[in-house]
Amino acid sequence: MTVTLQDLRLADPRLSRFEPMRRIICFDDFDRGYCGWTQLVGNYEHTLDSMTPSYAAHTHPQLATVSHWDAGTHGGVDGTYALKIATRPKRGIRSTAIKRLTFRQAGPIRLEFYFTFKPEATELRLSETDVRSVGFLYDLQTGHEQDGLRVMPHIRFLNAEDGRHIQRWQYKDETTPLRAIGTEGKTATHDHLAPFGWKDIPGGEQKLCYNEIPTKINWHYMRFDFDLAAMRMIEMQCNDRRYDLAGIPSIVIPAMRNLWCMLNLVFFAEAETDKRVFLYIDSVCLSGEF
């Protein structure tokens, strides 16, 4: 009997729920800890007061058992812990989690993960419009100074806005102007997650499972394919829906002086009301075709 690489992955319950490309770059099961995910801290120089206020509002992700007041501990898809990205209790505020990597070959890559989201259960009502959005992005930079670019594909699920349940996938291709930080000419910043410039993905309406009381959750599967060589989006899948992203642009700005071959992954959540909202990530698989 010939055993293939696919056979070995299908035999592993942790990996068989993913469809990775040939080489797994990282597999993050949060029952093993943070796996390199941390707080997205805004740039600063000499003083923390130089940080952009929206970045200063970010909190550190937590390892959570997804506990609720009425039912106790929910746990993850197949274990105890998930990564929890929690906002502060203020309308329009966001929080993030980031994993900082670099790439060794520019080629196709695939991000897969299981996620769910809820507002903090402070009321005995469904609260399905208290989460504004949840999303993810890559923060990338090419590997050579000649014609160097920083490329940032952004995807979010706009769950609600102004009290309306929207449920639509969106992308973003613009950011704020670069702002110098400090006096040494080494640090700059821009607020690429600023609340403007989001555009609808064609055919991007999708009804996600959002259970009947404020403490119930259901996990969703997400896959996002990107080509590092061409620096363009290819396709994404959420549960049973596939979206062609080949013509969808990313944020593109000039390369930074010290970020060559950067491959950062970011998750984020935004609050629609003055209530904390939580984005939970159960496990993450990043793979590549090289």
Q: pLDDT tens digits, the chain, 290 residues: what are they?
A: 677 888 888 888 888 999 999 999 999 999 999 999 999 998 888 888 888 888 989 999 999 999 988 888 999 998 999 999 999 999 999 999 999 999 999 999 999 999 999 999 999 999 999 999 999 999 999 987 767 999 999 999 999 999 999 999 999 999 998 888 877 777 888 899 999 999 999 999 999 999 889 899 999 999 999 999 999 999 999 999 999 999 999 999 999 988 999 999 999 999 999 999 999 999 999 999 98
Domain assignment of residue 272, given as a range = 21-288
**CATH number reported for the structural domain that contains residue 101 in this entry:** 2.60.120.200
CA–CA gap between residue 106 and residue 147 (Å, rounded)? 15
CA–CA separation, 266 and 66 (whole Å): 20
**What does the alpha-carbon distance between residue 64 and residue 151 come to, in Å, rounded to a whole number?**
32
Is 255 part of any domain? yes
Q: Where are the beta strands (DSSP E) in the chain?
A: 23-29, 62-64, 67-68, 72-73, 82-86, 94-102, 108-119, 131-141, 149-152, 154-161, 164-172, 179-181, 187-189, 198-205, 220-227, 232-238, 241-244, 251-254, 262-271, 277-288
Domain assignment of residue 110, yes or no: yes
CB 150 within 8 A of CB 141: yes
Return the amino acid letter for 96.
Answer: T
Number of domains comprising the chain: 1
Contact 272, 128 (CB under 8 A): no
Q: Is 6 inside any structural domain? A: no
Establish if 10 belongs to a structural domain.
no
Pairing of β 67-68 and β 277-288: unpaired
Residue 209 lies in a domain: yes
Tokens 């110098």 correspond to: 180
The answer to whether residue 1 is domain-embedded is no
- Given a contact cutoff of 8 angstroms between Cβ atoms, the answer to whether 121 and 69 are in contact is yes
User: Would you say residue 9 lies in a domain?
Assistant: no
Closest of 165, 107, 164, 168 to residue 135, by C-alpha:
168
Q: Is residue 2 part of a domain?
A: no
